[in-house]
Amino acid sequence: MLMLGFTGFMGILKIVLMALAAFGLFDAAFRREDAFRAADKQNKVFWLIILGIALVVSWLFSILSILPIAGAVASIVYIVDVRPALQQVGGGRGWGRRRGSSSDGPYGPYKGGR
């Protein structure tokens, strides 16, 4: 009975680690390459490779191995350190793209009237 509970907990932990890596991978995939340089972080290809490896490793190996733990550390570093820096450089809206309001004109917001 105890082993069944432990196995269930480890399965949930494995899913959480896979979700962290997948979130980081998709977030990095939709960021602009120049935002990584502007934030003075590693380039986009580096983070895509690291987070892709973290996702595959967390899927293939047992949680008790060192490889999924290293992948979790890489995912957490991306989410806690790199992602906020990219949001700050890219305006913080969406995946690094800056969007204006629907009333913005080429020289700023349209105020109506004159």
pLDDT (tens digit per residue) in 28-82: 999 988 889 888 888 999 999 999 999 999 989 877 788 989 999 999 999 999 9
H or E stretch at 30: none
Whether 68 and 58 have beta carbons less than 8 Å apart is answered as yes
Global model pTM greater than 0.75: no
Indicate the domain borders of the chain. Answer: 2-94
Convert 49-72 to b/e letters by CB count within 10 Å (16 or more is b): ebbbbbbebbeeeebeeebbeebb
First-last CA distance in the chain:
76
